[in-house]
Chains A and B, each alone.
Chain A
């Protein structure tokens, strides 16, 4: 093997060149789809699911620092990257025996109670299984390296995608100086606006009544804390592709369209060569258009629109409209999927090496729940959206939404521009409720009719016999049966379901499990998802290092700051 000459990092004793500006995942993905993580309970092999830095599919250790997202981390020359969650080795993990030994699941809630003398042993084993990695090692303690950062801003725009950029550009043109934040590394600058890349924020209650209405807590990778006060905030954080419930839905090779796009880089080996796409909307079409040569079949929960039928036939992709995706096959990687036509069609097996999920685009709403904006369930695509008027005003004075986080959007840039124009025209003074919006839930517009497409889909799917593990919460390895047990035992509501099953308590904080869990609970409890509820979004919402938080000045936070 040729040793790379330029900057490189090592992974399992092998050196990898660092792609310019690239991540660890991109470097490792040069060989195809990397699968280097194991799930916490059953030690099932896991690969990147989301490509957005939320799931647990790409966790690695960098030097002494555990739980680093390979899909977000840009390695430095000489970094030693490793994974720990396997024994004795990543390729041959004896702990995967748990997957075989407990075919109907490990019942940590009611199991392991007897005999009493074995309690200590059970505890020792279960304790060691928890987590993905050991604690940070002392050499990883960066401490608060940079001075604490406290900022005041006139307007903060969260998200530098098309909508957020359009907002910022319009605000600059209107004489304002917005602060634009983005989790990503590479948003281009906008003259007149300050851009903070690699920065994630969350809302906190304002420190005092005299302060500007918004207090945002953030951190800039790798470990710099940030505290922002802002008079107005525009949330333009966009949307993401949802996960899906089916047998062995956690197999390496099952990935969201977001991840498929993130891994699809010029020069890199493709993450898959013969995938199937699930979905029939604009997102599925984008996958077909960009990677059609690596897609064998398209499976849709409902009808397939004519343009997509045409695009598929041009690319030689088989169509399976109105079908259920039942299960994936393959031990280390997807090799085939079972599908059946809806209304009890026969089961067909399609060989493939990936399942690209492109059926449901969901808004990144945790930050809006947290800001206290009133939310409303929309049956299509089956998600909560902020209650907002056409100008982008939410029910929280001074809080605006723009782009696909506000609702399915065909032209996010135009949305952003419109919202910014309204903001410039002068929203109501902070403190005054927006005139055009209901001020109490009773006045809220009536909820759109329920149910939506995925509701009908799951109603049918959940009645069928199952094979393989149905993983309802991949971060915590919570199985669908464990979620279903909650209403079956007489408990109601998603808050209790979370505490009962552990679903939604992992690293992604519910992004990939809650949307489907709400549908499942709604079906089993026999009431609309909006009544099943939502789990309280608790700061910091995105995993934030203690050192970044420690770098913040608590005094500044309490009495108004510098």
Chain B
């Protein structure tokens, strides 16, 4: 089976999801030296192969809006850069409000997004109806919409970045588990894996829902929590739904892929941690079916093909964790993406690569840095728009 090609790397990355692969690609392009990515599973076996493919720029934090906007530009250019067609369709993201107070919250979001120069709009019920066919009468009081948000196919994005990274010399070792790090004098010196130890000057924790586990194995307690999120796909049909539809009150999101399937999920109160596995719970199918048919009464006759689940990697403030850990030099975080790692990976990986290389970036450490959780005064959630 897989044996690692070298015994010393400049950077060892844990996790071959979209975050780890994008980071590896950027590092290789910057000439960082030998880069290793290990993953204990198969390619796309984590959240990067289990998500809804939504890409949005409507956020409550201006810094996130900017990162998302940069990622949208990256994904638009993806075909040229990586040779794969990810079918990034900018059909918009429509946030539904089912009460006036929800609509008020959305107004605040729209203002922030507009302040960043993106033409987000607040809609009344008629405005929502004009964008979506077949909504139940009286289901919503209004919504927020940005037409340049959209959806993409996660898989070809993974293949494209994987192949590009490998062609730049990155070694991707599948079926290899990272079990910890070696360190000396407060500095990372290597990665311990199920295939032995290798020397590495930097270790990047891009283990997605398992990043909290890996950080703890490296002796660094972090507040990341894995939460299980379920999702389903229906049989395909001809185009019917243009935007991605999301609703804050129950975490519902629903979009129609280029293949014609409806893909969507909602939030259920699963116990935290990865113990629940990545299958379907007994509650999910009935709840999702009730929610979808209440919102779109005509869809009752539509067949569900399959359901599955994956893990969000949640943080207390809803923002990702990016950058070097102040407790251990050379240990760099690229995790805590919640349900939005796919849409943020192109832009955040640039900052993470800069952190690895020790070069400057525009990233505000107070917002995104791992050190923020070491400060007990900072606990208030910052990014509450945690869905779709």
Chain A residues in the interface with B (C-beta under 8 A): 40, 64-67, 84, 108-114, 116, 123, 126-128, 130-138, 140-144, 204-207, 215, 217, 223, 225, 489-493, 495-496, 499-500, 502, 507, 509, 536, 538-541, 543-550, 552-554, 557-558
Residues of B within 8 A of A541 (CB): 306
A238 to chain B, nearest CB (A): 23
Q: Is the beta-carbon distance between A491 and B299 smaller than 8 angstroms?
A: no
Q: CA separation between A140 and B299, bound complex, in Å?
A: 8
Closest A residue to B291 using CB positions: A550
Cα–Cα distance between A545 and B232 once the two chains are bound (Å): 13
Question: Ordered nearest first, which 9 A-B pairs have the shortest CB separation?
Answer: A130-B260, A547-B300, A113-B79, A549-B289, A543-B303, A131-B260, A131-B236, A538-B306, A136-B301
* CB atoms of B286 and A554 under 8 A apart: yes
Query: Would B286 and A539 count as touching, CB distance under 8 A?
Result: no
Say how far B238's CB is from chain A's closest CB, in angstroms: 4
Query: Measured between alpha carbons, how far is A82 from B287 in the docked complex, in Å?
Result: 32
User: Contacts A110-B85, A549-B289, A557-B283 known; A540 to B80 CB distance under 8 Å?
Assistant: no
Q: Which residues of A contact B87 (CB under 8 A)?
A: 108, 123, 126
Structural contact, B289 and A547, CB atoms closer than 8 A:
yes
Interface pair A142/B307, CB less than 8 Å apart? no
Contact of A550 among B174, B235, B293 (CB under 8 A): B293
Q: Which B residues are CB-close (under 8 A) to A207?
A: 282-283
| B179 close to A (CB within 8 Å) | no
Minimum CB–CB distance from A307 to chain B (whole Å) comes to 42
Residues in chain B near residue A133, CB distance under 8 A: 237-238
Write the nearest CB–CB distance from A292 to chain B, whole angstroms: 39
Query: Complex: how many Å from CA A547 to CA B156?
Result: 33
Give the number of residue pairs across the A-B interface with Cβ within 8 Å.
201
Judged by DSSP, the binding face of A is loop
Known: A135-B240, A538-B308, A558-B283. A507 touches B79 (CB 8 A): no
Q: List 21 A-B contacts (CB under 8 A).
A: A40-B236, A66-B235, A113-B85, A126-B258, A127-B239, A130-B239, A131-B235, A131-B260, A135-B237, A140-B301, A141-B293, A142-B300, A223-B300, A491-B43, A496-B44, A547-B289, A549-B286, A550-B290, A552-B289, A554-B286, A558-B283
Are B285 and A547 in contact (CB-based, < 8 A)? Answer: no
Alpha-carbon separation in the docked complex, A217 to B89 (Å): 35
* B301 adjacent to A142 (CB under 8 Å): yes
Complex contact A141–B286 (CB within 8 A) = no
Give B63-121 interface residues, CB cut-off 8 Å to A: 79-80, 83-85, 87, 89
Known: A136-B300, A500-B155, A544-B303. A123 touches B258 (CB 8 A): yes
Q: Is B366 an interface residue (CB 8 A)?
A: no
The smallest C-beta distance from B254 to any residue of chain A, in angstroms, reads 12
B297 to A67, Cβ gap below 8 A? no
The answer for the CA separation of A539 and B279 in the assembled complex, in Å, is 8
Contacts of A134 in B (CB 8 A): 237-238, 240
Known: A113-B79, A131-B238, A134-B237. A509 touches B298 (CB 8 A): no
Query: Which residue on chain B has the smallest CB distance to residue A493?
Result: B42
> Is B259 close to A, CB under 8 A?
yes
For the complex, what is the distance from the CA of A136 to the CA of B238, rounded to whole Å? 10
Q: Indicate whether A136 sits within 8 Å of B80 (C-beta atoms), given known contacts A495-B42, A550-B290, A557-B283.
A: no
A40 → chain B, closest Cβ, in Å? Answer: 7
Query: Which residue of the partner chain A has the closest CB to B80?
Result: A113
Q: Does B139 reach chain A (CB closer than 8 Å)?
A: no
15 additional contacts (CB under 8 A) given A109-B85, A539-B307: A108-B87, A113-B85, A130-B237, A135-B299, A136-B299, A207-B283, A215-B282, A495-B45, A509-B305, A538-B308, A539-B306, A543-B305, A544-B303, A548-B289, A554-B282
